[in-house]
């Protein structure tokens, strides 16, 4: 077996999930967690200032022993914002659209691997508005009977629905309903390639990255990182990159997906995503590592690409994040019900030195695909 090459330069391209906080938030998270990892002597990355750009914002990073390089944030805030919050009352239209998309795809509700919790998570933005609609209808019927005016219910119901939508918007920072409606509709656009602006952006990214890969020295690596629904986008970007590169450049790049939501790709409208994954898994030099955590209900969990049409099974390296080992017991128990906080743990430094550590992966001198989380002597129940 050939020894893995030594990496001296690593260029990272990060694709976030559906998040209106944009690149500045993830840059601050990267810088803060790199400092945390450095203080704990787990890695020694120093993050430079962020330089804004049209399609990528970029910062340099370096360390005394190990690879150096740059870290790019794919800019798509302008694409996310239209899906973030509907106008007052339009949340009901988003909900009906989502019901049509999700309830008409029975494959989405067949758990694969560890995705049972994710199926429950997908039901939430469908069931909460349905409950609110039932309450609005009951209130309209009750008021109609009380006032003994049958025609009044037809006027009261739209008013009550608008009030309910405004109430849900008011507390969206706690219940995340409108956020999730927009998230799933944006995910549909990623899977189905139905949005020209997004497709154009993907093409621009792929063209620029292809030039970067060709310019890499033999000891360089391009690492595409997709987190959450950004993992779906990263897979499609990797496919377009693959199409533009010659076979001799295939070993120069790797794909890392963290907390991926790949089971949404089982939908019947996800043909372009199926094609991307199928093409990637049939490549002879695929380097794709998927890191999952059974406790993370916002991700699909252990997902084998072989369930998608045309994709080969066993070509993606599946790796548990071992969150129980990466976090101190008191921190883990406090975080386990904070779903969105736990979902960001993939991008944080390990608190114990064990389990998945994003910064140890970035700092290693072998290709990112070869990273193995450090385990305790007793191992993990995950």
Which residues, listed in sequence order, are joined to residue 374 by a DSSP beta bridge? Answer: 355
Q: Which of 256, 375, 228, 373 lies closest to 316, judged by CA?
A: 256
Specify whether the CB–CB gap between 165 and 221 falls below 8 A.
Answer: no
CA 355 → CA 174, 346, 369, distances in Å? 30, 10, 16
Note down pLDDT in tens along the chain; length 382 residues.
Answer: 456 678 999 999 999 999 999 999 999 999 999 999 998 888 889 999 999 988 999 999 998 888 899 999 999 999 998 888 788 888 899 999 999 988 888 777 765 555 677 888 888 999 999 999 999 999 888 888 777 777 676 788 889 999 999 999 899 988 999 999 999 999 999 999 999 999 999 999 999 999 999 999 989 999 999 999 999 999 999 999 999 999 889 889 999 999 998 888 888 899 999 999 999 999 988 899 999 998 899 988 788 888 888 899 989 999 999 999 999 999 998 888 889 999 999 999 998 989 999 999 999 999 999 999 988 866 555 6
d(Cα 3, Cα 136) in Å, to the nearest integer? Answer: 65
pLDDT per position as a tens digit, 217-271: 989 999 999 999 999 999 999 999 999 999 889 889 999 999 998 888 888 899 9
DSSP 42: S
Q: 3-state DSSP call for residue 382?
A: coil
Work out the widest C-alpha separation in the chain, in whole angstroms: 84
pTM of structure: 0.93
CA 167 → CA 8, 20, 338, distances in Å? 53, 21, 23
Q: Residue 79 contacts by C-beta under 8 Å, 6 or more apart in sequence?
A: 186, 195, 197, 198, 201
d(Cα 222, Cα 211) in Å, to the nearest integer? Answer: 11
φ/ψ of 211, rounded to 5, equals: -65, -40
DSSP 348: S
Which residues, listed in sequence order, are joined to residue 47 by a DSSP beta bridge? Answer: 61
DSSP 252-290: GEEEEEES--GGGGGSTT-HHHHHHHHHHHTSTT--EEE
Tokens read off for 213: 């890969």
Tokens read off for 131: 């409950």
């Amino acid at each position: 077996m050939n020894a893995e090459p030594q990496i001296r330069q690593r260029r990272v391209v990060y694709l976030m999930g559906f998040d209106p906080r944009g690149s500045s938030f993830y840059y601050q998270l990267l810088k803060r967690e790199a400092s945390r990892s450095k203080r704990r002597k787990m890695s020694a990355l120093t993050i430079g200032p962020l330089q804004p750009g049209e399609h990528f914002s970029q910062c340099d990073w370096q360390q005394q022993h190990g690879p150096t390089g740059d870290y790019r944030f794919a800019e798509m805030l302008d694409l996310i914002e239209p899906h973030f919050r509907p106008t007052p009352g339009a949340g009901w239209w988003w909900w009906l659209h989502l019901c049509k998309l999700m309830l008409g795809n029975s494959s989405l509700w067949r758990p694969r691997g560890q995705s049972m919790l994710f199926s429950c998570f997908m039901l939430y933005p469908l069931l909460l508005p349905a409950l609110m609609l039932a309450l609005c209808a009951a209130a309209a019927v009750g008021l109609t009977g009380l006032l003994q005016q049958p025609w009044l219910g037809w006027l009261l119901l739209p008013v009550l629905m608008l009030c309910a939508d405004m109430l849900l918007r008011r507390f969206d920072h706690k219940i995340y309903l409108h956020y999730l409606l927009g998230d799933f509709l944006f995910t549909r656009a990623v899977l189905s390639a139905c949005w020209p602006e997004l497709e154009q952006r993907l093409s621009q990214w792929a063209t620029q990255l292809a030039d970067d890969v060709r310019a890499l020295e033999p000891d360089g690596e391009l690492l595409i990182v997709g987190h959450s629904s950004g993992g779906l986008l990263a897979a499609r970007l990797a496919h377009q990159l693959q199409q533009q590169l010659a076979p001799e450049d295939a070993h120069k790049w790797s794909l890392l997906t963290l907390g991926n939501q790949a089971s949404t790709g089982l939908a019947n409208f996800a043909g372009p995503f199926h094609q991307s994954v199928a093409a990637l898994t049939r490549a002879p030099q695929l380097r794709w590592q998927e890191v999952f955590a059974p406790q993370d209900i916002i991700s699909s969990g252990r997902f084998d690409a072989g369930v998608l049409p045309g994709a080969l099974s066993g070509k993606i390296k599946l790796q548990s994040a071992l969150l129980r080992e990466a976090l101190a017991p008191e921190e883990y128990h406090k975080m386990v019900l904070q779903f969105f906080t736990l979902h960001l743990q993939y991008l944080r430094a390990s608190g114990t030195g064990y389990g998945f550590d994003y910064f140890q992966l970035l700092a290693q001198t072998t290709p990112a695909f070869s990273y193995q989380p450090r385990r305790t002597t007793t191992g993990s129940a995950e």
